A and B are shown apart, each in its own frame.
Chain A
Amino acid sequence: MAKQYETVIGLEVHVELATKTKIFCGCSTAFGGDPNTHTCPVCTGMPGSLPVLNKKVVEYAMAVGLATNCTITQDCKFDRKNYFYPDNPQNYQISQLYLPICRDGHVTIETANGPKDIRIHEIHMEEDAGKLVHDDFTDSSYVDYNRSGVPLIEIVSEPDMRSAEEVIAYLDALRMAVQYLGASDCKLQEGSMRADVNLSVREVGSSEFGTRTETKNLNSFKAIARCIANETERQIDLIEAGEKVVQETRRWDDNKEYSYAMRSKEDAQDYRYFPDPDLVPIHISDEWIEQIKQDQPELRPEKKKRYMEEYCLPEYDANILTGVKHLADLFESVVDFGKKPKEVSNWLMGDTMRLVKEKEMELEEIDFDAKHLASLIDLIEAGTINRTAAREVFEHIFEENIDPVAYVEEHGLKQDNNEEGLRSIVSEVVKNNPKSVEDYHAGKTKALGFLVGQTMKASKGKANPALVNKLIMELLTK
């Protein structure tokens, strides 16, 4: 019988923090910009320049640490990681090895077997490197230091995950927490969130870990899932063939959907870490931690729970609405206008989602004022417009952020509540559709719907459907 294997996975996740300025200088962290325009002597490693820590970086790191149940290292410091590569202008990266800012946390994920804690070993702060640009035409390389010194946190998990599903659930939970904190936008594609996968396999039941590999350059959940499947298979094949898994760093090629070895443990560099003498140790007081705790926004799990309890939303709705902070914020803003939560949820989960999908947008790109959706709901409740018209108006709110009251007025979309007027339309419709009337009397209630529809059509969609219904019934039962 074939042996049963288990995959053991730990992640190193880099998150680019959303500070306006870099970690050790005042340069902008804005993405893009002409090469070397967001730079200064500090982030280009000029002689005599010195780093000065951006306090906001410490606060974001603490916030993420607290949100992931970590212990804050109240006396922490920065270390230098020494290695020669030109994207790193000092040829050392300022990072944290000996005393990382956060330790011993966990994130809870949902699995098929119920909730599971993924432990976090540590979170440390560090600076990002610049970018090398290769010019094949002139066969030379250039360095752009705009990204050099952009603040990062690295979140290192314990090897607690056993499948791609768990890995993705963990990443999703992390991403959600970081996004809710406003600490980063966490876009894998743009590199503001990057994950390295440490993976080994072992026989089920074994208490020893196998030899692990680390795979880098994974920039989508899809790539991560593929990489895990691929690497698991590769390692099992090696073991089955009686060969050994080599401890090495591998690089994922997203086009080929294959990873290849970059360097083995034997070539591993000695980074000669030591405390950076240019930076003083950071002391984090109890008061500071308390302050960060107080400023901590409501995170997704609590928000989801509150939506279900306070707003009586079904779990399905709560789940989707809290899935992206922007959507949750929009939802709450509309509800704050005094609108019924379920009604708001319906608009967001129904028409909004449909339009997002049709227009191939991201949920973050939804850009209309909450007050317009609130007024639209008012218009419906007051009977000023009917649902058909409302859906039309909503499309304009979604696309052009129009004021629905003015729009309804200008386009004459007000519902027709004039009983006399409608009665004559209804009489006309009943007169012209004797077959349906006959059907209705024969017990085919469906015919009623047809007659209502015809009336609505004749009123150019403006008739109050409830009123039409009532008038038809009156005529038919006379």
Chain B
Amino acid sequence: MSVLNLTAVSLGKKIQAGELSAVEATQEVLAQVERVEKDVHSYVSYDGEAALKRAKEVQQLIDEKKLTHPLAGVPVAIKDNMCTKGVTTTCSSKILSNFVPPYSSTAVEKLEAAGAIMIGKTNMDEFAMGSTTETSAYGITRNPWNLDHVPGGSSGGSCAAVAANEAIYALGSDTGGSIRQPSSFCGVTGIKPTYGTVSRFGLIAYGSSLDQIGPVAKDVRDCATILSTISGYDSKDSTSIKREDYDFNQYLGQDIKGLRIGVPKGYFKEGLDKEVADHVLSLAKTLEAQGAVVEEFDLSLVEYAIPAYYVIADAEASSNLERFDGVKYGYRAKEYNGLHDMIKKSRSQGFGPEVKRRIMLGSFVLSSGYYDAYYLKALRTKALIVKAFDEAFAKYDVILAPAAPTTAPKIGSSLADPIKMYLGDIYTISVNLAGLPGITVPVGKDKNGLPIGAQLIGNRFREDVLFKAAYAYEQTKTYEMCDLAQKGVN
């Protein structure tokens, strides 16, 4: 059986059992990368030699019984906005083209301690700003299901890599849907945990109050295992939260009888593709058959989520991205006249148009005279959205929503109309504003064969409900791979 048919947990088991070695697993994944990377372009950079060297070291430790973690020896792809010690970390931006961090992000460190084999750094929208992975300075990533379509974004590279078997699993980050939307477009499972669950240390910030790292994988069990590995309180991140549960595997297989599922009526009206709506609602029917209680309700303030999100995220981004000035690291303009000209030119040449647009928007909403009208108002809206969710979770254990209004759009069709692209985030961003966990699971395909994902949203710290429900649903299905992913599968 090919390594590429396996989930991370099942591969890890075989490696522990000695049926396969970490080196063999890595070789197979690298061979698949060689076959499909030129078409998909999931990676900004990858290093087969380093991965194999690491695989040998990890296998040695496994042989010595020093590494028994379920993910030991399993190849992983890391989104290029997470710092990796000694490995170039670009955020898919020209401005960080030469940035080699002297430290690793906490999430990556935890995976390394578990014996993960990093294949490479995945492509993304520049600084995670975008929904298509088309704003990368290093070329677009294509959807492995149909190369004419985008993989979604901003974690498009991570989701495409998993869907195309260029990695067994991946880490993504989610500021406004950047894990859940591309997971939907690529037919994989991805979870954004409750804000504060995974340390942000070493994650290059976009919107600090919204960013969370999360797993992208082939199934719910993988996501639970990966999240259990990368989560935890981190004294290096002040927004990190001490939780009571960090073992998410315990919730898999729990009975869902009586689970109360809320379906926000407003989410399934105009603007949502009919095929997407039908498939998403089919998840509710499946769980209903298992004893869940499904009910429609009004989730208020939906229409205010997008403006509030873009004000807050862009305000934070405009400040977070100030450190990229060509002075200390990263790209510096070749010709300049004095200090301020150097900073101006380096930033003008180093950032792409979408990043510049958001820096300008963010700077505007924070400027004196506009702060109250925009930024403060957005914060108040955010507080009201939190309240609306609190009210919903008093009645329901989980909320069912689409992850995106459509399936993956064609390459080149989104960037021309940024407002339309921003509106595509409608089902995901309020989850970030409220700091909630959300998981996307594949529920089917549209008539063009493009995957559709459904999103389950839980209350803060209630990943248990998400894992329980998603796993129960998943038991009724089999993981479907795209043709391209099966290229190398015997």
Q: Which A residues form the contact surface with B (CB < 8 A)?
A: 41, 44-53, 80, 82, 84, 86, 89-92, 141, 143, 270, 272-274, 277-280
Interchain nearest-CB distance for B371 vs A (Å): 7
Q: Which B residues form the contact surface with A (CB < 8 A)?
A: 82-83, 89, 91, 96, 99, 101-103, 105, 200-205, 207-209, 235-239, 315-316, 318-319, 322-325, 327-329, 339-340, 343, 363, 366-368, 371, 375
Cα distance A381–B480 when bound, in Å?
Answer: 100
Residues on the B chain within 8 Å of A53, using CB: 238
Residues on the A chain within 8 Å of B329, using CB: 46-47
Q: When the two chains form the complex, which single residue of A44, A52, A272 contacts B366, counting CB atoms closer than 8 Å?
A: A272
Residues on the B chain within 8 Å of A270, using CB: 367-368
B367 and A52 form a contact (CB under 8 A) = no
Q: When the two chains form the complex, which single residue of A141, A274, A277 contacts B339, counting CB atoms closer than 8 Å?
A: A141
Cα distance A53–B236 when bound, in Å?
Answer: 10
B205 and A86 form a contact (CB under 8 A) = no
B238 and A47 form a contact (CB under 8 A) = no
A279 and B319 form a contact (CB under 8 A) = no
Q: When the two chains form the complex, which single residue of B99, B322, B367, B371 contacts A91, counting CB atoms closer than 8 Å?
A: B322
Q: When the two chains form the complex, which single residue of A45, A48, A89, A274 contacts B105, counting CB atoms closer than 8 Å?
A: A48
List the 4 closest pairs (A to B, CB-CB), nearest first.
A91-B322, A272-B366, A277-B208, A277-B209
A51 and B323 form a contact (CB under 8 A) = no
B325 and A84 form a contact (CB under 8 A) = yes
Q: DSSP class of A's interface residues: helix, strand, loop or mixed?
A: loop
Cα distance A90–B327 when bound, in Å?
Answer: 11
Q: When the two chains form the complex, which single residue of B205, B328, B367 contacts A48, counting CB atoms closer than 8 Å?
A: B205
A46 and B101 form a contact (CB under 8 A) = yes
Residues on the B chain within 8 Å of A51, using CB: 238
Q: A46-B329, A48-B201, A84-B325 are in contact. Are A272 and B236 (CB under 8 A)?
A: no
Q: A48-B205, A92-B319 are in contact. Are A280 and B238 (CB under 8 A)?
A: yes
Which of A53, A277, A279 has the most chain B CB atoms closer than 10 A to its own CB? Answer: A277
Residues on the B chain within 8 Å of A90, using CB: 322-323
Residues on the A chain within 8 Å of B202, using CB: 48-49
A41 and B204 form a contact (CB under 8 A) = no
A272 and B363 form a contact (CB under 8 A) = yes
Cα distance A367–B200 when bound, in Å?
Answer: 49
15 residue pairs from A and B, CB less than 8 Å apart: A41-B102, A45-B323, A45-B328, A47-B101, A47-B323, A48-B200, A48-B201, A53-B238, A82-B319, A272-B366, A272-B367, A273-B371, A277-B209, A278-B239, A279-B238
Cα distance A90–B324 when bound, in Å?
Answer: 8
Interchain nearest-CB distance for B240 vs A (Å): 9
Residues on the A chain within 8 Å of B238, using CB: 50-53, 278-280
Q: DSSP class of B's interface residues: helix, strand, loop or mixed?
A: loop
B323 and A274 form a contact (CB under 8 A) = no
B327 and A272 form a contact (CB under 8 A) = no
Which of B325, B339, B375 has the most chain A CB atoms closer than 10 A to its own CB? Answer: B325
B239 and A280 form a contact (CB under 8 A) = yes
Q: When the two chains form the complex, which single residue of A41, A50, A82, A279 contacts B322, counting CB atoms closer than 8 Å?
A: A82
Cα distance A45–B91 when bound, in Å?
Answer: 16
Interchain nearest-CB distance for A130 vs B (Å): 10
Residues on the B chain within 8 Å of A50, using CB: 200-201, 236-238
Residue of A nearest to B103 (CB): A41
A48 and B204 form a contact (CB under 8 A) = yes
Cα distance A279–B327 when bound, in Å?
Answer: 25
Residues on the A chain within 8 Å of B83, using CB: 47-48
B319 and A48 form a contact (CB under 8 A) = no
Residues on the A chain within 8 Å of B204, using CB: 47-48
User: With contacts A48-B82, A48-B205, A273-B366 known, what are 14 further pairs, Cβ within 8 A?
Assistant: A41-B101, A45-B328, A47-B89, A47-B205, A47-B323, A47-B324, A50-B238, A82-B322, A84-B322, A86-B327, A91-B323, A273-B371, A274-B319, A278-B238
Residue of A nearest to B196 (CB): A280
Cα distance A112–B371 when bound, in Å?
Answer: 47
Residues on the B chain within 8 Å of A49, using CB: 201-202
Interchain nearest-CB distance for A227 vs B (Å): 28
Residue of A nearest to B329 (CB): A46
Residue of A nearest to B239 (CB): A280
Residue of B nearest to A52 (CB): B238
Cα distance A459–B278 when bound, in Å?
Answer: 117
Residue of A nearest to B324 (CB): A47
Residues on the B chain within 8 Å of A92, using CB: 319, 322
Residues on the A chain within 8 Å of B208, using CB: 277-278
Q: A45-B323, A92-B322, A272-B366 are in contact. Are A86 and B339 (CB under 8 A)?
A: yes
Interchain nearest-CB distance for B224 vs A (Å): 26
Residues on the A chain within 8 Å of B340, using CB: 84
Q: A47-B96, A280-B239 are in contact. Are A84 and B102 (CB under 8 A)?
A: no
Interchain nearest-CB distance for A133 vs B (Å): 13
A274 and B322 form a contact (CB under 8 A) = no
B327 and A277 form a contact (CB under 8 A) = no
Residue of B nearest to A279 (CB): B238
Q: A47-B204, A279-B238 are in contact. Are A89 and B319 (CB under 8 A)?
A: no
Residue of B nearest to A274 (CB): B366
Cα distance A296–B319 when bound, in Å?
Answer: 38
Cα distance A49–B200 when bound, in Å?
Answer: 9
Residues on the B chain within 8 Å of A47, using CB: 83, 89, 91, 96, 99, 101, 204-205, 323-324, 329
Residues on the A chain within 8 Å of B235, using CB: 52
Cα distance A175–B107 when bound, in Å?
Answer: 46
Residues on the B chain within 8 Å of A141, using CB: 339
Residues on the B chain within 8 Å of A91, using CB: 322-323, 325
Residues on the B chain within 8 Å of A280, using CB: 238-239
Cα distance A80–B319 when bound, in Å?
Answer: 8
Cα distance A441–B45 when bound, in Å?
Answer: 111
Cα distance A82–B205 when bound, in Å?
Answer: 16
Cα distance A92–B324 when bound, in Å?
Answer: 12
Cα distance A274–B102 when bound, in Å?
Answer: 29
Residues on the B chain within 8 Å of A89, using CB: 323, 328
Residues on the A chain within 8 Å of B105, using CB: 48
Residues on the A chain within 8 Å of B375, using CB: 274
Residue of B nearest to A24 (CB): B238
Residues on the A chain within 8 Å of B367, using CB: 270, 272
Interchain nearest-CB distance for A75 vs B (Å): 16
Cα distance A280–B200 when bound, in Å?
Answer: 14
Interchain nearest-CB distance for B196 vs A (Å): 10
Residue of A nearest to B207 (CB): A277
Cα distance A279–B205 when bound, in Å?
Answer: 13
Cα distance A182–B325 when bound, in Å?
Answer: 38
Cα distance A143–B327 when bound, in Å?
Answer: 9
Which of B201, B202, B327 has the most chain A CB atoms closer than 10 A to its own CB? Answer: B327
Cα distance A25–B152 when bound, in Å?
Answer: 37
Cα distance A112–B200 when bound, in Å?
Answer: 58
Residues on the A chain within 8 Å of B323, using CB: 45, 47, 89-91
Cα distance A467–B229 when bound, in Å?
Answer: 89
Interchain nearest-CB distance for A131 vs B (Å): 14
Cα distance A53–B239 when bound, in Å?
Answer: 11
Cα distance A46–B363 when bound, in Å?
Answer: 21
Cα distance A45–B319 when bound, in Å?
Answer: 12
Which of B91, B340, B366 has the most chain A CB atoms closer than 10 A to its own CB? Answer: B366
